[in-house]
Every structure is written in C-alpha cells, then in structure tokens.
Structure 1
Amino acid sequence: MTNHGLRADAERNRERILVAAEEAFLERGAGVALEEVARRAKVGIGTLYRRFPTREALLAATSDERFVALAETSRVRAAALGPGDALRQFLEELARNTSLYQSLAASLGTVIQHGTPGCTAITAEGRRLLQGAQDAGIVRADAVFDDIICVVSAIAIAVEKDSAPTTHITHLVDLLLNGLHVR
C-alpha cells in the first residue's frame, strides 16, 4: 500500500485496519461488525471511522488492489479478444471478485463509486468494454454500465453459496449477454 499523506502512526493504523478487514470479510462476509474489524486491528472504532467513514469505503479499500489487477488484466486480454468475448471475460472476473466476500455483491454499486484507484479502474474498463461491444453492434445501445453492475451484483449474490460458482457464473453471464445482444 502507499502512503496516503498520513503520519507514520496513522498509516500503520490504516494498514492494520485493511489487513484486519480483509481477514474478517473473507471469514465472515462483508456484513461483519466493524467493531470486530477495529478489535482485530487493535484500534478504536473511532480510528476506523476516521479512515473509512462507511462500510462501503472500507470494502472499496480492501478490494482496491484486486480491482486494479482485474482492470489491467482485462485491458491486456481484451487486445487479443473480440469485443464480445472481452466483455464476457470482464463480467465473469468481476462477478468472481464480487463473490469473494459474502454479501459484497449487495453493495457493489455503492462500493465502486468510492473513487479508489481500483474502483476508478473497474468503472473505466467496464465502460470501455461495454462501449466497444456496442460500437461493434453486439450489445444493445440502451445498456449502460450501471445496468451491468446491477446484473453482476445479482449474479454474485446468486452464486454466494454455490458449490460450483465458476460454472454458474459463466452460465449466468451467458444469459446476461444473450439478453443484451442486439436483435
């Protein structure tokens, strides 16, 4: 992680909060009590809220590196794929990332609006791929990125307790893209 213009002790607290949140979200889901995150990080709840004023801000921060990596991988991979396949790959990866923390999907739309580098990268890449598929005449012109996020959230919710989430995600993304196809 990088320094965010914080004093050294404040930066250490921020990092401890992120590590504790990652562990808690992986173990108990995105709905875990923030008091538990603060306890695990060995900071007061006020310190947690000063750094991350909302649960969604904390979720955005813990997802940041994964979202940056997803966007970068997508951009590289998209060059070798057609616009439809590039959009499909991106949607599947975003749904997989969103289902990493149980219950993250319910707030994905709010989480990605937090302006972290990862959230900004995901939004830009998603819009770029959607526009490319629309320009190629593959995806309906009336589809917007927010629609895609709503459906990706629904897909991630649907597979949260699935024993074969990857297969189910692929199937649901296929259904989504069939619905978005230009007729």
Structure 2
Amino acid sequence: MRADARKNYDQLLAVARVVVAEQGADASLRDIARKAGVGLGTLYRHFPTREALLEALLRAGFDQLAARASELESSSSPGDALASWLREFVAGAAGYRGVVASMMAAIEDPESALHASCVTMRAAGARLLARAQAAGVARTDIDGADLFALAGALAWLGDQPSVASRADHLVGVIAGAILTN
C-alpha cells in the first residue's frame, strides 16, 4: 500500500473507532470520511461496505480476545479462565455500540467480512469452556455456540441504557450459572 493510502486507511480507522464508539455501528460513513479529512470515495476504496469497516475495527479486538484465551488457558484455573474471558468479551463489545447484531449475524454468514474473526473468537471461548467442562467446573449441557450466544446477549445488554449499569453484575450471574464450582 502506498504511504498516502496507508495514512488515509489508518486515519479512517482511528476516526471510525471514535465515531462508532459514540454513535454505534450505524454511524454515518459520510461523517467518518469527513472527520478523517478524506472523501467518501476514499473511504469506500478502503472499506467497500459498512461491514468491511466494522471488520477492520473489530478484527484486532477479536484477535486479542482469541489470544487472551490462549494466555488464560495456561495461566488460570479452568473456571477463572472462562469467567475472565466472558467478562473481557462483554467489555470489548461494549466499546462499540450496536455491533452485537452485526457480530451475531456474521457468525452464521460465511460471506460476511466479520465471519472469520467471529468464528475464531467463538472457537477460543469454546476451548475455554471445554477445558472447564473437562475439569468438572462447568455445565456440560452447553457448547461453544451457546457460550457465544450468551456472551452476545450480555454484550447487547450493555448497549441498553436501562440495564447498562448492571451489565457487569449480570456477567457474574451468567458466569455463575455456567460454572458449577
């Protein structure tokens, strides 16, 4: 990528990160381009769809969450690792209002720009769940897809003003329902 194109790409992502955090996943792409100091055509050259922009914004966080699962596997007890990952999932999604719907749709759509990142993140959570189940500290009647759905639901609750202040408490309740010890 040319230096000026890389600069525009990085600027668009930096501005989009702020705008999407403030306004949500349906933020105006025109506003993002304007605030980044580029034309709408430049935004579309880098990100042909809203989903492509969201994927670029979220990929790093999803990849970090998958890597964090690996760290937790080796540094924490199975139950603590699973509970920590669940909390970090919900906290990460809370940084981007309205992204949960896109994420949940992407997991089922192999053509989605977000699909691969979501699948990787779900697999990371599933590994932590399987480890906790093997250790006898997690329910055995749920799987990685259930865990991902519960994490998505908890993240969605964080987007709701009427319950956002209770989101962390609710994560604890769900973690307690998953973990048996």
TM over 0.5: yes
Structure 1 equivalent of residue 3 of structure 2: 8
Structure 2 equivalent of residue 85 of structure 1: 80
CA positional deviation for 1:38: 1.6
The more displaced of 29-38 and 44-53 is: 44-53
1:16 maps to amino acid: Q
Conservation of the 8 A alpha-carbon contact between 1:18 and 1:62: yes
Matches within 5 A, 1:156-175: 156-160=155-159, 161=161, 165=165, 168-175=166-173
Matched, 1:149 2:144: no
Q: TM-score, normalised by structure 1?
A: 0.76
Conservation of the 8 A alpha-carbon contact between 2:123 and 2:144: no
- Of residues 174, 177, 180, the one that matches 1:176 is 174
102 and 131 in structure 1: CA distance in 2 versus 1, 3 angstrom threshold: same
- Aligned equivalents of 2:133 and 2:48: distance in 1? 37
144 and 44 in structure 1: CA distance in 2 versus 1, 3 angstrom threshold: farther
Q: Report the secondary structure of 1:30's partner residue.
A: coil
CA positional deviation for 1:65: 3.0
CA positional deviation for 1:35: 1.5
CA positional deviation for 1:178: 4.5
Q: TM-score, normalised by structure 2?
A: 0.77
Structure 1 equivalent of residue 116 of structure 2: 115
- Aligned equivalents of 1:50 and 1:121: distance in 2? 26
CA positional deviation for 1:36: 1.1
Structure 1 equivalent of residue 37 of structure 2: 42
- Aligned equivalents of 1:174 and 1:58: distance in 2? 32
CA positional deviation for 1:17: 1.2
- Aligned equivalents of 2:15 and 2:44: distance in 1? 14
Calculate percent identity across the aligned residue pairs. 37
Unaligned runs of 5+ in 2: 108-113
Unaligned runs of 5+ in 1: 1-5
51 and 17 in structure 1: CA distance in 2 versus 1, 3 angstrom threshold: same
> How many residue pairs were aligned?
173
Matched, 1:20 2:15: yes
CA positional deviation for 1:90: 0.2
48 and 144 in structure 1: CA distance in 2 versus 1, 3 angstrom threshold: farther
